[in-house]
Structure 1
Amino acid sequence: MGQNLDVEVEIHDPGTAVVTIRGELDVDTATLLRHHLANQTLHGRRHLVLDLSAVGFMDSSGLNVLIRATRETRAMGGDLHLAAPVPQVAKLFDLTGLSLTTAVHEDVPAALTALGGAGTPS
């Protein structure tokens, strides 16, 4: 039962975390990512940047985790930003309409820049 997913969290500031995901985001690994993201919101991080540059495959289970996390961060007054998806995953975002509802950026620095004022304490 080898879960082929590695999740690394870097705290950018008290309200913002960069979550780097490596591997395949599918039915076997989606719950693991869900727990990591829930843990971040539990600790008050309302702004999440997901670095997807090393995610080579994603199915509907992975998409559902991203949609749910977007909903939850927005309910807290924050947001979820997706960064650097590989072409195959970016195409999935376009086909499903996720790229219309969730910000997708070229890379992590661009996502953090987009957060800009949103990441500062109010």
Structure 2
Amino acid sequence: MPPLTLAHQHLPGVTVVAVTGEMDATNRADFDDYLRDVRSAPASRLVFDLSGVPFMDSSGLHVLLSCATDCLRKGGVVHMAGVQPLPARLFEITGVVAHIPVHPTVEDAVTAALASERSM
């Protein structure tokens, strides 16, 4: 299993969180802690770059959804980008795609997140 690697970049108006590796119960706490540290404001605009995530189980999904719920509750927006086939199937089965926009590229997701910011 590829180890989970996390990185982020604060861009004007949005934070991009790049995730690489498999997301599962073995690294759930690390991912959750990292997201708590990265979020610079309660109403953050977040883009998750998941192009490096070949596999995600319900533990990884739970962390993403908890972060997204908290962000949305506080007036922020969350978008996902580059979702690979297995995580995409998980999002489809669970209905996540109906609530969190998914984009083919990070650039598309950042553009959409910033547009959402202007319409709020």
Q: Report SS of the residue matched to 1:58.
A: coil
**1:1-49 CA distances to partner (integer Å, 9 max, x unpaired)?**
x981000111112x421000000100011211111211222x2161110
**Bigger share in strand:** 1
- Matched letter for residue 59 of structure 1: D
The whole-number CA distance in structure 2 between the counterparts of 1:79 and 1:40 is 15
Residue 46 of structure 1 is matched in structure 2 by 44
TM-score by length of 1: 0.88
- Matched letter for residue 7 of structure 2: E
- Matched letter for residue 19 of structure 2: I
| Percent identity for Structure 1 against Structure 2 | 33
Residue 11 of structure 2 is matched in structure 1 by 12
Matches within 5 A, 1:78-89: 78-89=76-87
TM-score by length of 2: 0.89
Which residue, 23, 31, 36 being the options, matches 1:33? Answer: 31
CA RMSD of aligned residues (A): 1.9
Residue 59 of structure 1 is matched in structure 2 by 57
Matches within 5 A, 1:106-117: 106-117=104-115
